[in-house]
Each structure stands twice: as C-alpha cells, then as structure tokens.
Structure 1
Amino acid sequence: MKRRKVALGVVLGAVGALVLVVVAGLLATLGTDGGGGTKDRESAPAATPRAGTDSPRAPASQAPASQASPGPDPGPAGDVRITSCGVDPTTHWPSAKLTITNRSSKTSTYLVGVEFLGASGVRLAEGAALSNDLAPGQRAEATAGALDQVRERVTCRVTKVNRFAS
C-alpha cells in the first residue's frame, strides 16, 4: 500500500511538472506576437480575493469563502472570485475553487495564480488555474491546486490574473 502511495506521488509530481511546462509554453506563445511586441493582453495583480478554511482536514467544497469587493475597474483581477479554499484530507494538497467571468469584449484565455497561506501569513504553496477561450460574458469554474502537502489551515489569495485575447 505504501508503494502505491509513493508511485502515485511520483506520477502526480511528473504530471504537475508537465503541466507547468505546458503553461509556461502557453504564456511564451501568447505573450508575444513574434515581432517583439505584445499581443492584446492584460495582466493584473489580485491581492484582495481571499478565502480560508476552518480546519486543515476540511474538504475544499465545505470551506467558507469570502472576498473583498474590488474597486471601480480592477481589470482582469475583477474577473476572478475564490468560491472555496481548503486542504484535501487524504493528499493534504491545498486547492482553491474559482469562478472566472469574462467581463472583456473579446474571447479570452485566463491564467490565474493563487497562493496558499498559513495562519501566520507565510506562503505554504502556490498553484495556478487555466481557462481557455472564454467568450465575453461567459463564466467558468476552475480549480487552482498545489502539489505541496500542507497540514494546517490555509487562506487562499489570488496573486495574479493574466487575460489574453484568444
């Protein structure tokens, strides 16, 4: 049984590394137009959306969520809302469920960075979520997860939102 858990961890770690390489490639491809300029792209830090859990063993779907209201035009950061935040009781991997609403006038792809903070405010892990080809006004659910094991209560915070016209 322990061998299976180790094998599962190795496989999932490799998959996570592959996902990071693909996301980095996507960013490199979407970030430039080949002539040194940038495509129609917006990026914004998102320091206010946060959500926490009552227990490190509470499943993400049972975690309470809260969010500060954004200012008049928060840009792409205003398109993302954390709906739950928690730590899986079996794997101890933190995750944040997100709702992404495309408020722009163009079909867009979103890359959202999330950090998972401990009670003292120290970053314990980070993750990302990707949502492709979201039409104007369309809403999508996404999950940002980390492969670092966390054994304490976490607070989730969106750190950056990149919106690319697709």
Structure 2
Amino acid sequence: MRKIISIAVCMLACSMVFAASFSSVEGKLFNDKSFIFPDDLLEERSVIIALTLSSSRKNGEEQQKHFIEWQKKLKETSSKLNSITVYHISVIDGAPFFVRGAIRNGIAKEYGDLVKETQGGVLYLSKSERFASDARIPIDGEPTLVVLSATGSIEGFVKGAYSSDRMLQLQSLLGM
C-alpha cells in the first residue's frame, strides 16, 4: 500500500509541474547525422528520452551505465513498454568542436548494439543549465527518463536507476 501511495504522490507532483517542453536545439546522432532535438524525434505516440544531464564526465558515464540497464529492461519481451521508442540523448556542456566526434563515438560505443545509431545522440550546449531549466528538469546527477508526447510536450519524467517502482511510474506516465 505504501508503494502505491508513494507512486500516486509522485505522479500527482509530476502532473502538476508539467506543461513544459524542450527548447529546439541542433545535435548529432550516433551515425553523425544532424538532427533537431526534440522535433526530429517526435512520433505519432509518446516516446521516452533517456536524458543524460550531468555536471561532470564521471557522472555522465555513471548515468549511461544506468541507462544501459534501463534499455535492457524496457526492451525485454515481457515489458509492457517494449514497443515504445527510446532515444538516448547526452547533453554535453562546453566541449570544444575538435573533440565532439570522439565524445559522440565513445558514448555510442558504450551502448554497442543496444541502441540503434538513429536512436542515440549528443547535444553540445553552452548553457545546459538553461536548457534543463526551460524543460523544468533538475540537473541532480540522476539518470532521467523523460516521456515526450507526440506534440513535443513533456508529460513527466522518472529519475534514478532502474527499479520495479520506477518502471511502474514510467508506465503510468505513458498511460499503460
């Protein structure tokens, strides 16, 4: 019962906070093609954005490990969410242009075959705090799974490493 109450409180808090959306910014997919985030990722139904927002390289790498576990759990055949598209997007603040390709390739390599080259990418920003603030998502070192509607509005997000409770929160945000 306590789990149900905590999930309900979290969902209520998320629903009251959101009417936010991401600013449109240019990024690079793992396959080196340019894209506009989030516009080019929108589909006919909601998608999940595994968003790495961190203040350090080490924390970004830790979040990526958690997202790899999330990806495996989301794509299991027994998962209710295995048909939902998941995009893995890393936000990198202040990277010099001459190392950006190496950074993107390193991130893509860590995901390996788990994530298609067209479902992962990097946004190189000079003000990631402003980007996160505009979307009303705190930069707190936790992996963030954002549910993005077909119209581009943020329906809510789940923060943290995979757990069955967080999976239920994600399902609830997706109306499942």
TM-score after normalising by structure 1: 0.29
TM-score after normalising by structure 2: 0.28
Higher relative contact order (CA 8 A, sep 6+): 2
Larger radius of gyration between Structure 1 and Structure 2: 1
Give 1 or 2: higher helix fraction. Answer: 2
Give 1 or 2: higher strand fraction. Answer: 1
